[in-house]
Amino acid sequence: MNEPLPPFLLTASYPISLLIVAIIAAIVFSVWSYRRTNPPTMLPIKILLTSLRSLGLIGGIWLIFQPKLQINRLDELQPNVLLLLDRSASMNPAQKGINLDAELAELFSSPTFEQLSSKANIVSYGFADSLKSLSGFPSQLDSAVGPETDIGNALSEVMLQADPLTPNLILLVTDGANNSGIDPARIARLSKVPISTIGVGSVEKKLDLMITDIAINPIVYQGSKVPVEVYFRAIGAKGQSIEVFIRGPDGRTIEKRIINIDDHFSEGKASFEVQVDSSGKFFYRVEIPKLDNELTPDNNSRSISINSLANKLRILVISGAPDYGLGDFIHRLGSNSHVEIMQRTEQGGGFYEGTWPDAETLSKIDVVVFHHFPTTRTSSAKLQEFNRKLIDSSLPLCFIDGGDIDVSKLKPFSDLLPVTVSNNVGVGSGRISPIRRHAILTPPEDEDFSDKWLDLPPLTAALNLSQPKPNSELLAELVLEDGRKIPAIAISETAGRKSAAIVVRDLWKWGMFSPGEDGILEPVLERLMKWLALRKSNKQVQLEFAKDQFSMREVVSFRVNCFDEGFQPFDGSEVVAEISFSTGDPLITTLKGEGRGQYSGGFLPWSTGNYTVKVTASKDGKRLGEDRGTLTVDAYSIEFLDSYLNQPLLQSIADGSGGKYVPFESAASYFASLSFPPQLVASQRNTELWGGWLHLSLIVILLSIEWLLRIRLGML
């Protein structure tokens, strides 16, 4: 154990012992110098001269040794305790069967907690999907309510924010219903601070019915029978029969299933078919009626939306000369009975199937695809004429490289594509890697879709052929053998026009490796064509929602794009949103501009059901236009899938960090038992005892006086 330092300590550039010896030597030398003088002088004069020389020499020695006075202090710091309070939806009072807010308020206003507050500095945070400071704690209990629980992120963030506090303990008050982010037990194992977990709720699984997931294709064709798979969970309902039914947009029941529950904990699936006879967007609702004494009904229903396209998806494929890649592409698209393909395959300066498509033909088309087109044989004049018709039609364009294209002839279409094109400088080979999750790449229920792509064969692409534009979305990259990455799949949606680009040449290899609807290629192509065909109106003001369904526990966010007459992004508009519900007056809010003609807004829903949002944009009093959309808000939250205490996770967090797991009913006694050893922090302050003009002046003055006296006394 280190001995405590004395309150004061003299230090120097050289050992202090040597400093003392030097000072003694200077005094001895001065005494010796004036022991005998010529001419002889009186004793008082000798003493004065000896003192002057001694002090002058000591001042010079002091300057050489540069001594410092070190002042040492030991301060006792007040312990710091970080309190993390879970304020997610699963901590809702109805979810636990108790008035949880009242229980929490009673705990944190109890004498034991006040006693803890007197022993330690308590810094409080609330968390759900993000972390927020509870400045008004314990009265400010609901400031961090959110739709998800991310305990790992809360622990990571609080450790970063509280770094200057050097916490002695982290108190985590939660039910352990962790459903987002990284594993909190892993974060706990890396923590240098013990984490004690206060478990809220009961491990007993009370009677609760819930819809855990719904699998449905969100984009379908008019006239289709759409499969709907409803996954449910029943807890504590052994021996009972439950109903699962689906309601249509008009609220009437379409189908119903009766399911017998054979176990205390049971999971299952109910299958339905929905007939969609017209095009447009439609909202459906899946429900399980509430049982008596059920814990909460908030997880018994969910809404779904279906976008219905016209009966046939009409695709115009314009290609270069026939090759295997084109044949495979046509075969895979054409195998879908809801897809109708019109081809124009290049032959010389024209096409095998006829002339260039005119405006009337384009009016009957949903999507235009360029497959390894245009080529060196393509007529530039005809291409320019078709480009103008394509622009006027606002049709979505999909470009698939496929090889053998003339980049210079593709450039006039660059404004319609999500990528810029440049001269080809060679060909590279690699594997396609998704860089983000998107409905085009995978259905919502496929969690490990990116792993499947790792097994697909490598593809080739032209190097430097394309770069994604700023307003495009890059979905996948081609990782070359040397580690370089180039764009592979990109999409764009601007000014009411959609576009896509697949900048690889041999997609048919994927079809050979994983064929059919269960493979990769055919579902991706089908979803891409549906996405392109789902066109927006060509308006100067366009409203977009982050998604069609929201939870009561989250902010409904949306975005508005404004364009001028030439459909270029237009800034400086005043954009007002009017949010209407079936009851009450509409909510009026002004949106915030983000640049590039984009404006963002959001609101907290005040009830479940359908909301209509109408946005209006104006500039200097002149109206630019308006748009409107509909969304639905459910009481459902992912939080409600776990309605009981996750004690194993909380025990793991506590054990991994060196803390303790405490049930909620024992929290008060645990607070009373907490004690913190004194935390002493040593501090030092060094004061220089040398240097400066005063020190030098004193040496000069002392030696000068000695020298003047010697001169006056006639000494050599």
Q: What tens digit of pLDDT does each residue of 506-538 get?
A: 888 887 776 666 678 888 898 898 888 876 656
Query: Are 50 and 142 in a shared domain?
Result: no
Query: Are 454 and 583 in a shared domain?
Result: no
Assess if residue 680 is contained within a domain. no
Assess if residue 225 is contained within a domain. yes
Query: Are 473 and 488 in a shared domain?
Result: yes
Q: What tens digit of pLDDT does each residue of 647-699 get?
A: 889 999 999 999 999 998 898 899 888 888 776 666 777 777 766 778 788 88
What CATH number corresponds to the domain at position 553?
2.60.40.1930
Assess if residue 426 is contained within a domain. yes
Residue 96 has what pLDDT?
A: 46
What total number of domains does the chain contain?
5
Q: At what angle do helices 16-33 and 43-65 cross, to 10 degrees?
A: 150
Q: End-to-end alpha-carbon separation of the chain, Å?
A: 60
Q: How many H-runs (helices) and E-runs (strands) does the chain carry?
A: 17, 38
Assess if residue 1 is contained within a domain. no
- What is the rounded average pLDDT of the residues 325-352? 87
Residue 1 has what pLDDT?
A: 44
Q: At what angle do helices 324-334 and 521-533 cross, to 10 degrees?
A: 70
Query: Are 337 and 456 in a shared domain?
Result: yes
What CATH number corresponds to the domain at position 99?
3.40.50.410
Tokens at 652, concatenated? 């793991």
Domain ends where: 509, 533, 557?
A: 533
Q: Which residue has the higher pLDDT, 705 or 452?
A: 705
Q: What tens digit of pLDDT does each residue of 478-513 get?
A: 888 888 888 889 998 876 678 999 988 888 888 777
Assess if residue 155 is contained within a domain. yes
Query: Are 492 and 379 in a shared domain?
Result: yes
Assess if residue 3 is contained within a domain. no
What CATH number corresponds to the domain at position 517?
3.40.50.880
Query: Are 413 and 352 in a shared domain?
Result: yes
Q: What tens digit of pLDDT does each residue of 82-109 get?
A: 888 888 777 764 544 556 777 787 888 8
Domain ends where: 582, 617, 638?
A: 638
Q: Which residues contact 86 (CB under 8 A, 6 or more apart)?
A: 126, 127, 128, 149, 151, 172, 173, 174, 175, 200
Assess if residue 352 is contained within a domain. yes
What CATH number corresponds to the domain at position 292?
2.60.40.10
Assess if residue 708 is contained within a domain. yes
Strand 265-276, strand 224-235: pairing: antiparallel
Query: Are 561 and 698 in a shared domain?
Result: no
Query: Are 607 and 568 in a shared domain?
Result: yes
Give me the domain span that covers residue 653. Answer: 80-204+644-675
CA-wise closest residue to 144 among 110, 167, 112, 173: 173
When mean pLDDT is compared across 133-142, 232-241, 555-564, the lowest value belongs to 133-142
CA-wise closest residue to 397 among 539, 521, 532: 532
Query: Are 227 and 156 in a shared domain?
Result: no
- pTM listed for this prediction: 0.55
Amino acid making up residue 427: V
When mean pLDDT is compared across 151-160, 437-446, 689-698, the lowest value belongs to 437-446
